[in-house]
Structures are given as structure tokens and as C-alpha cells.
Amino acid sequence: MSIFIQAEEMKAVFLEKLKAHGVTDMEIADECAAIMVENSVNGVYSHGVNRFPRMISYIDKGYIKPDMRPTLVQSFGAFEKWDGNLGMGNTNARICMDRAIALAKQFGIGCVALKNTNHWMRGGQYGLQAADAGCVGICWSNTMPNMPAWGGVDCRIGNNPFILCVPKEGGHLMMDGAMSQFSYGKLETTRLAGKKLPVIGGYDTNGELTDDPGEIEKSRRLIPMGYWKGSGMSILLDMIVTILSDGNSVCEVGKLGSDEYALSQIFIAINAEKTTDRREALLENIIEDVKNSIPVSEKSRPRVPNERSNHVREENLVDGVPVDESVWQTILAL
Amino acid sequence: MSIFIQAEEMKAVFLEKLKAHGVTDMEIADECAAIMVENSVNGVYSHGVNRFPRMISYIDKGYIKPDMRPTLVQSFGAFEKWDGNLGMGNTNARICMDRAIALAKQFGIGCVALKNTNHWMRGGQYGLQAADAGCVGICWSNTMPNMPAWGGVDCRIGNNPFILCVPKEGGHLMMDGAMSQFSYGKLETTRLAGKKLPVIGGYDTNGELTDDPGEIEKSRRLIPMGYWKGSGMSILLDMIVTILSDGNSVCEVGKLGSDEYALSQIFIAINAEKTTDRREALLENIIEDVKNSIPVSEKSRPRVPNERSNHVREENLVDGVPVDESVWQTILAL
């Protein structure tokens, strides 16, 4: 059963729990709490309120060193290497995308390669951050091995979320997707809703293709998006982030144990403020054209990738964020 | 039936035909011919010898202005906007990736957004070009509308090939993929071989999912890789390239008619020469780990995306490039 928690109350509770678990840098605590609330208000519960207990447990286990901030390792001009020092994943990511944006304002494009960081929660957040600054945002993270390479059975590659974001007045356009056809979060919510996946999402424990989310959770044999294509793209994203950051690759993260930490990430911002004086018209033109497609059915009309619809945000700001009661009780007891 | 044409002979014929069709800039003619031969030698016939007649017809129709070179429109430091002036797509792309590499050597990262250009043939060529210079290469092109958006029936989005390439001694690693599950080239070769696709690739003219390549060629209802994921990524890639280059979007290319020209492209190079002193080891580690996967079957082992195997190249350099006899006759008659 869901209860509804106002954003302000949620932030106060997050802050209190972060302090109680040893976070002494109040700027980091405040920003971390703000990002977790923001994701929840925007409807990305899996990387907001629902993930908060695991974040706290990672602090307790020492994987996250919440008072550490990222530090510059090496500068090449518009491209910099940073060390996350195992600090908070979301505040590290925010700081590094800020740096990429600053470089983009100076050089037209900026890139930060970050090692030794932690789960950034909702990756799209940093794409939107770039777009808010008038930049195209491109970023990705590697993960623990959580998907078989195409042709393999055991988890050897990451689902390495990849984000593309374009600035637009009234709502940026964004693709924020894992290299797997479905995330574990989507499998869980679909299973809990008693539903099947809309398309085949992986294999069951007998090695048969299935649209049953629970079976895929058991086998951990997710299908990469586009089969060999998502598998190949996952591997390349991991290689790029590893050699540019000089950090852990997916397989090295896997060697750290069954928890996921010490990740590597890339943040690219490209300043789009002066490239054209008709940006809104160019984007509207693309959006209109896609929307004018002949639809497969009334239920299945083409969509332009966008932020989660604003009405979720508006509802959650007024009514409060819907939170599973047991999740909220867990958080209060942290 | 295939005949075998030595690379040297192929290049001489290409050069002769380019000259005969009005190419007077011998540097462009030579480089264009060299790229078309190189793609053929590397086994990418669809974007080498098989495509040569269409390239000539586009020159004849005035879509390609082969004596034009790209020109700088605007510089932001490490990011530049260029106009392709409707020159040769492959030489334009080569010049712009060269420029991105030069910027990357100066600033760590470099980016060129190019408008008014033409089909670049094998996009992977420019990724490999960056890798040859010790850079990570990231590039993409938009295309004519050749795929329905997910949920739509008519072609509104492009399959917008996207390339990621990582430098490695003894063979760079690369993903060079369209946003459709299969390219039209793959549909054609599969149909001609009398085979079915390995997975569902689109819809037949009755709106049913099918693995029959000929049926998909008729309906033109390709499936995006990962369904809504490839559809969304295609749209975002198009938006980024359009607003950064101030050039044509996919739908504007579609308005030009049934032929594909005046495209927009992005070239990004990131200098990887000084980011780590253990690049080879980091990459070998990833490759070994993927290869150590438990295979689904002996026939289906996980693969690491790579250049087409060197043995094709070696065979083609010794025996000549296999070319369909009718294709070669068409070229000789141009």
C-alpha cells in the first residue's frame, strides 16, 4: 500500500538519516537528499526513495565515503580526468557534469572522465542538468556485471545506462536507457503488478525465451536491447569509460564482490546556445513529424522521448510522493 | 556470380569513372576512390564497390558536388561547425574527423558538427580513423526517413548509424550500428542467400512480425533495435546533430525527395594517448572476461565487437575483392 509523503518531509527525513549514518559534510548531505527527492518527485522512484535504504547500507559498509569529494587528476584542456574518491555517486556526478558544462562554456565542448565513483541513481538527472545550462548532455556509467554478453549465459557485461539529452524550452528531450531491454527495476514493478513484459525480455532458468519478469529475475539472463547490438554497445561504452578514466571496468567492479561500487563514468556537455538561432523550430519540426506518424493503433502511438510527463511531477508536488508503506517504514527505522 | 578484382585495378577504375563524371579535384577523386576500395577490401561491400554506381548517379543528378570541400562556419574552441557544401560524403567525413582529431590533440577532446554533407559510406571508417590517431572515436549521421518510429507504420525516423571506436594495438574495437535491428543491406543479402533473419526484423505488409527479409523490404517497416529504445535513440541522435550543425533533420532530408542527400553528421574524438599507461592491459582484461563467458552453444559464443576479421582483408588483398559480375559490368559501363 502506498502512502503519500510531501517532498519537504521526505527531504528532512533523508537529511536526518544521512547525518545519523555519519555524513558530516552538510553541503553533500543536502545535495544528496535534494537529488533523491527530485528523482522521487519526478516519478523515478526506483532511483529515488526506493533506493535510499541501499544507499545508507553502502555508507554503513564503507563502500560510499560520503564526506569525500571528487578531485581533479589530469587536465587536457576541454577534457579532464577526475577521481571520485568513492564519494556519493549522485553528488559526484552532479559536480562532474557541472565541470563538463563549465568546460563547454569555455571550449564549446567539455568532457569529464570519472573513476572511483558510486551509483549515480537516475542518470538522466545529469543529462537534464546539461540541458538546463543550454548544453547537449551525453553521459554514461558502467555497472557491475549484470547481463550476459550476447551468446553467453553468465553475467559478464553491464547494462551501462546511456543518456542523450537535448535542451528545449518547456521540456528537454531525453533518452535515458540501459543496454538491457529491461532494467531490473522494470522487471520488479512488472512482476509486482502481476503483468507480463510487453516483449521478450530474457531467458527463464530452462534457457527458454520469456516475457515473465519473475523468471528473468531468477535466471539473471536479461536480453541486451537489440540482442548483439546492445551487447556490443555495452562493451564499447565500458571500454571507453575505462581507458579514459583509468578506472574500473565492469569485470573489475564484479571482482569487488556482490555489491556495486567504485564505478567509472563519462560526462560530455556540448554548448548548444550559439549553434543555431532556430533551435526551438528545428526541434518542434522533428517532434511534429514523429507525432504525425500513422499510428499502429490508438493505444500505440509514436512517442518522442521526453522527461517523465510533467503531470506526475505536478501531482507529486501537490499530493505528495507515493511511497510503498513498508519502504517508508524501513527508511524511518534506518 | 562473383569475379575477383584486385584493389589496384578497382581503384584505377573508380578514379577513371569519377573523372569521367566530372570530378576535377584529383585529391578528392583519389581519396574518394581509396576509401571505396578500402571498404571493399575490408569486406564492407555494401558501402564500397556495390554502392559505387549510386554514388556516380548522385553526382550526375547534382546531389553530390564532388569538387566542393567542407568549410568552417563557426568555431567555439574545441567544437566547430562546418558546412559540407554538398561535397563527397566520404571525403567530407574524413576531413571532419581529421579536424576533430586535431582539436582533440590540442584540447583533449574535439567535435565537429557538419551540415550539407552526403552519405559517408561505411561510418566505421571514421571511428577507425580516430583510433588510428590514438583517440576514442564517436560519430553518427542522420539519414533519410527509412524506419517507422516505434508505434508508427510509416517511415518517419532515420536508422542514423552510430559508431563507437576504441584504439587498441593489433586491432581497434568498434561498434558500428544502425538504429534499426537490421540494415537494408543485411535484408538484401539475407534474401539473396534464401535465408531467414536470425531474429524478428520487422513487419510484413499485413502488419505481422516476420523474420522474412523480403517481406520487410516490401513493407519498409523495419524494427528499431530494442523497439522503443532504438526509436528513441534515433530521434535523439537526429535532434543533437540537427541543432549542433544547424543542418537538415531526418524529416527535412525526407522532403528533398526519394534520394538521400544533404545530411548532418557529428564527429567526436577524445585523445586517449595520455589517460592511462595500461590501456592494452585494461582492454585485454575486458576482452578476456567476455570470451570466458559460459557459451549458449558452441555455435553461439560471446563476441567482442571488432573490425571485420583481418583474414577477410588479407584474402581480399591477395585474391582480389569478390564482386558480383553484374555489379562490375555496371561500373565498367558508367
**Angstrom distance (rounded) from CA B115 to CA A58:** 48
Looking at the structure of chain A, the number of domains it has is 2
SS3 assignment for A209-247: EECCHHHHHHHCCECECCCHHHHHHHHHHHHHHHHHHCC
Asked if B173 and A235 come within 8 Å (Cβ–Cβ), the reply is yes
Q: Give the residue ranges of chain B where pLDDT is below 70.
A: 307-309
Retrieve residue B73's grid coordinates.
562556419
Which of A162-176, A304-318, B312-326 has the weakest average pLDDT? Answer: A304-318
Instruction: Name the CA radius of gyration of chain A, rounded.
Output: 20
Residue predicted with more confidence, B234 or A297? B234
Q: Is residue A174 less than 8 Å (CB to CB) from chain B? A: yes
Verify that A85 and A210 share a domain, yes or no: no
Q: Please give the residue of chain A at the shortest CA–CA distance from B250.
A: A286
Confidence (pLDDT) at B288: 95
Which positions in chain B touch A270 (Cβ < 8 Å)? 79, 111, 240, 244
Verify that B98 and B34 share a domain, yes or no: yes
Residue among B208, B148, B138, B207 nearest B181 (CA) = B148
Q: Please give the residue of chain B at the shortest CA–CA distance from A299.
A: B151
Which positions in chain B touch A244 (Cβ < 8 Å)? 136, 270, 272, 275
Q: Please give the residue of chain B at the shortest CA–CA distance from A178.
A: B229
**Angstrom distance (rounded) from CA B189 to CA B166:** 28
Q: Is the distance from CB of B90 to CB of B35 less than 8 angstroms?
A: yes
Distance of CA B112 to the CA centre of its chain: 17
Residue A294 located in a structural domain: no
**Angstrom distance (rounded) from CA B229 to CA B222:** 14
Find residues 210-269 of chain A whose CB sits inside 8 Å of chain B: 225-233, 235-240, 242-246, 249-252, 268
Residue among B73, B147, B235, B292 with most chain A CBs within 10 A, to mutate:
B235
Strand duo A79-83 + B71-75: pairing = unpaired
Q: Is residue A153 less than 8 Å (CB to CB) from chain B? A: yes
B157's torsion region: left (phi>0), alpha (psi -120 to 50) or beta?
Answer: beta
Residue A285 located in a structural domain: no
The helix/strand/coil state of B289 is helix
**Angstrom distance (rounded) from CA B133 to CA A328:** 53
Which of A21-30, A49-58, B111-120, B291-300 has the weakest average pLDDT? Answer: B291-300
Asked if B275 and A150 come within 8 Å (Cβ–Cβ), the reply is no
pLDDT above 90 coverage of chain A, percent: 89
The CATH number covering residue B212 comes to: 3.30.60.50
> Residue ranges of the alpha helices (H) in A61-168?
89-107, 124-132
**Angstrom distance (rounded) from CA B105 to CA B264:** 24
SS3 assignment for A290-325: HHCCCECECCECCCCCECCCHHHHHHHHHHCEEEEH
Verify that A19 and A149 share a domain, yes or no: yes
Verify that A218 and A164 share a domain, yes or no: no
Decide which of A189, A223, A257 is a domain's last residue: A223
Q: Convert the pLDDT of each residue in A188-227 to its tens digit.
A: 889 988 999 999 999 999 999 999 999 999 999 999 999 9
Confidence (pLDDT) at A307: 58
Verify that A69 and A218 share a domain, yes or no: no
| Domain housing B203 | 181-223
The CATH number covering residue B258 comes to: 3.30.1370.60
Position of cell 553528488? Answer: A91
Residue B119 located in a structural domain: yes
A43's torsion region: left (phi>0), alpha (psi -120 to 50) or beta?
Answer: left
Please give the average per-residue pLDDT across A242-251, as a whole number.
Answer: 98
Confidence (pLDDT) at B307: 59
According to DSSP, the residues that pair with B82 across neighbouring strands are: B72, B114
Distance of residue B101 Cα from the nearest chain A Cα, in angstroms: 13
The beta-carbon neighbor of A251 closest among B106, B233, B289 is B289
Q: Is residue B136 less than 8 Å (CB to CB) from chain A? A: yes
Verify that B117 and B135 share a domain, yes or no: yes
Residue B282 located in a structural domain: no
Tell me the residue ranges of DSSP E strands in B232-317. 263-271
Q: Whats the size of chain A, residue-wise?
A: 334
**Angstrom distance (rounded) from CA B148 to CA A303:** 11
Verify that A185 and A99 share a domain, yes or no: no
Residue among A150, A97, A88 nearest A119 (CA) = A88
Retrieve residue B84's grid coordinates.
559540407
Residue B234 located in a structural domain: yes
Residue B76, CB half-sphere, CA atoms under 13 Å: how many? 28
Phi, psi of B152 (to 5 degrees): -115, 165
Q: Please give the residue of chain A at the shortest CA–CA distance from B305.
A: A232
Q: Please give the residue of chain B at the shortest CA–CA distance from A148.
A: B293
Residue A187 located in a structural domain: yes
Q: Is the distance from CB of A163 to CB of A139 less than 8 angstroms?
A: yes
Asked if A164 and B111 come within 8 Å (Cβ–Cβ), the reply is no
Q: Is residue A276 less than 8 Å (CB to CB) from chain B? A: yes
Q: Is the distance from CB of B201 to CB of B211 less than 8 angstroms?
A: yes
**Angstrom distance (rounded) from CA B334 to CA B317:** 25
Following DSSP, what letter does each residue of B170-212 receive, concatenated?
Answer: TS-EEEEE-SBSS-HHHHHHHHHTT---SS--EE-TTS-EE--
Amino acid symbol at A4: F
Residue among B286, B287, B301 with most chain A CBs within 10 A, to mutate:
B286
Verify that B21 and B46 share a domain, yes or no: yes
- Indicate whether this complex's ipTM tops 0.85: yes
Verify that A210 and A162 share a domain, yes or no: no
Which positions in chain B touch A276 (Cβ < 8 Å)? 243, 246
Neighbouring residues of B192: CB distance < 8 A, sequence distance ≥ 6: none
pLDDT band at A160 (very low <50, low <70, confident <90, very high): very high
Please tell me which residue in B47, B119, B172, B311 is annotated as part of the active site: B47
Q: Is residue A113 less than 8 Å (CB to CB) from chain B? A: yes
The beta-carbon neighbor of B77 closest among A106, A149, A154 is A106
Residue among B162, B186, B276 with most chain A CBs within 10 A, to mutate:
B276
Verify that B61 and B187 share a domain, yes or no: no
Phi, psi of B148 (to 5 degrees): -75, 145
Q: Please give the residue of chain A at the shortest CA–CA distance from B165.
A: A236
Residue B320 located in a structural domain: no
Find residues 15-34 of chain B whose CB sits inside 8 Å of chain A: none
Verify that B52 and B111 share a domain, yes or no: yes
**Angstrom distance (rounded) from CA A268 to CA B108:** 12
Q: Is the distance from CB of B165 to CB of B127 less than 8 angstroms?
A: yes
Find residues 277-316 of chain B whose CB sits inside 8 Å of chain A: 278-279, 282-283, 285-286, 289-290, 292-296, 300-305
Verify that A99 and A186 share a domain, yes or no: no
User: How many A/B residue pairs have CB atoms within 8 Å?
Assistant: 285
Active site residue A47: yes
**Angstrom distance (rounded) from CA B209 to CA B224:** 13
